[in-house]
Structure 1
Amino acid sequence: MYLLGGVLFLFFLTNMMGGVFYMWILLEMVFFFVIFYLILTCYKKVNLSSIVYYLFIQALGGIMLMCSFLIEMFYFGNFYFFNSSISWICFFLGLMSLLIKMGVFPFYLQIYKIMGFMNFNQIFMFMVYPKVVPMVMLYNLIGGVDFQLNGILILPSLLLLISGFQGIYSSDIREILAWSGMSQLSWIFVGILGNFFFFFFFFMLYSFLLYYMCFTLFGSGSKVYYDYLLVGGSYYGNFIMLILIFLMSGLAPFFMFYMKLFLIFEIMNYSVVFLFMMLLGSSGIFFFYIRIVQMSLSLGGSFYYFISNNYSFKLNYSLMFIFSFFFLGGILILI
């Protein structure tokens, strides 16, 4: 749980930063922390070309962001770049750099390339921590402009379409989690256009579910969907994995369904075309979540990480509580 606590602390620390330069330093520190974590925990099974590619793309985004706020500071005399950008060129340069940092379309290939060489603990760190600071910066940047940004919705719409239909062709669970994370990032991006509490709560909900899913999968040794006919294994493991997938997929009556429904109402205020693209991409997301369900019901008991009875006991009860909470959360919203 300390990993989830670190995400909350990072959110708090980012909001407490008083200047754009300190936020940029924190952004780069988190980036290098994740890189070092991946290298130290790779156990000599790392693809250096993928890490170098990711390092280059992220460094490019950091340089672009630094150039955008330095131009605002020294040329326009604006020391509050993320709250009130003056130059449109600097605004879009900063926007592009943050999209690179987050892995939003068309800069998503860096995430897909490196995910296939990670274990599930590394996947959680890689999919969650590097996105916290740029999301808060993006929220402040978009909130500081006084003109409409309807066209920006094309980015999450395309990312959701690509991730939805690319995930259908993936057989590696790590690749499926990568496309799933990109699809959730699309909805989080839409939430950023709304209010801070909504996108914060959505991101924490996704982080919470991803944490438990990665913990369940870690140590299993199974990464590829290789046999549809091996039925058996841990019944309770199958049940827990099934509930986690239902929670993350956004099916009714689970809580994430209602959060996405609120975001759909938000998109309707901007464009019906983007709404159609988001719904079409969500259909692809639903299909590859169903593939994970099929896999969880087909593979043997070694797929699940229930080695210790004590950990199994704690995990079972905590996940049953999670299931009850999110199910009742949806019912309460309806009431």
Structure 2
Amino acid sequence: MITNKKGITISRVILHVLTKDKDEIFSNNLLPTDDIYFMDFLIRHIKSAIGRTSRRSAVYNDVKEHTIKNNLENLFSSNNTNFIEASKEIAQRLNGIIKIKNQGPYYFLLCNYSNADEENYVAMIILDFSKSFFPNCNDDKVLVKHITSLSENNSKFKKCAILQPLDHDSEYDLIINEPKDTEFFRSNFLQSNIFYDNKKAAEDFVMETVAWLQDKLYSMDKIEDSSYNENIVEQLNELQNTCYSQIVNSDSINIDNFIDGNFIGDLESLKDDYKIHLESSGLIDNEILIDEDVKNTLKVNKVKLDNGIQLIIPLNLVNNTDSYNMNLDSDLLANINISGKIVSQTIKQK
């Protein structure tokens, strides 16, 4: 599985220097893989890229001149020359794009790696250009210097993509992870569109449900019937907890069944409104598979209040009223009860 972070071993890596001026360097040589600091640095980037909740699955666009797809076979080739030439062609395309978009400069790394299941992937990592890490250039050779400084001071990648071989059996082609979404990386360079996989669907199902619930709660103060108001508020709070528990306790979420089973009584009049909201958010598939990857990704509910208080609640405790209980009123004021023995307490900068 492409999200497997265990036993990552890098077998081959090359570095290109990309600029929006005329100082770009397209290397003809692989970097040495015997530098443990550098290898550890790259492995941490790869693990971070495939482990973050911000990652997105994507599929390649169906276009004839697709630089990534056309070079994918050579990127996975055992022939180093084929790999180097493919990486240069890809780097040249990316360099042309950043000139047009006035982006960069960047370091562009391409790595072949395998995981504990002996599956092979290619990682494309874009790093910000930094004076603390500079390549020693000798003609067309690029040698990495000051690797320790790089790994210590520049540990956050700018953008990363994990590519699968052409003959993969997944529904998607690659994983993209970039802290700040940029069209030039996903659309222009990788020539791909976001694939609505189970992780994204489950995450959006929860977040769009919460957003809809909060909107409805906020509108409750406009209803004159106070008893009806109280009943709706109570049921909407219960619905929010039920939504969270679906991730923990279910193998799948059937949206129609979820709606039919929960929008009853006073909530029945809101059924169509909720369904339209989900559909407008792209949730048109009736069944969302909750596999281990989804459960490992969506483990906690993070709550931030306007007074600066932040809470991190494990989803498996959301319905455990002995440990935690939160109710929102029509002004979205939270009444939170937490019970538990303190096992540690620390003071941090942030």
> When you count strand as a share of all residues, which structure comes out higher?
2
- Higher-Rg structure is 2
> When you count helix as a share of all residues, which structure comes out higher?
1
Task: Provide TM-score, normalisation by structure 1.
Answer: 0.26
